[in-house]
Amino acid sequence: MMSNRFFRLALLGLTVLLMAGCSAVNRPTPPQVQLVGLEMEELTLTHANMLAKVRLRNPNNFALDVRGIRVQLALNEVQVAKGNAIGPVKIAGGQSGDMLVQVATPLWAFFNLANNLQGSNEVRFKLVGDVDIGGWGVIGGNLPFSHSGVIPLQGTIPR
């Protein structure tokens, strides 16, 4: 009887310690993702391939091992492309790192956008997606992001 009671108390104590340890583990703050460049790579009969350069800033005080990134890109509020890049990229706490993301868009959407931007020097963009930092449970997985702004068109869309 004494042994059974000791076992229950030990199990309860271990459970409390495990729960306290799990609550101390915080999910990382998602990296800040910025679109810093967009270049036309290839134009085929069916689609346009572009290369998006994204900058990830790690706001945490520890390094993030970025395994990949998935993005959806809207230009002038029109969903035009999606794509992904596969890491790995290690970004130290408080530091930034760049990734190149191959994005594709249907040719009709590209020409509609190019036609709408005639004579314009800039384009509004919205970049949404998630960053895969690997890991397990609350200390890993996919961290969502959303970023919008304006980029110059020079070298981006033929005029």
Q: Three-state SS for 70?
A: strand
List strands edge to edge, sheet with 32-43: 32-43, 47-57, 96-106, 78-91, 64-75, 122-132, 142-152
Neighbour tally for 115: CB within 10 Å: 8
Q: 5-42 pLDDT, tens per residue? A: 666 655 556 665 555 444 445 678 888 998 888 888 98
Q: Kindly indicate whether the domain formed by 27-152 is annotated with CATH number 2.60.40.1820.
A: yes
Q: 75-91 pLDDT, tens per residue? A: 887 788 889 887 788 99
Mean per-residue pLDDT of the chain: 79
For the chain, the domains span 27-152
Q: What is the pTM of this model?
A: 0.69
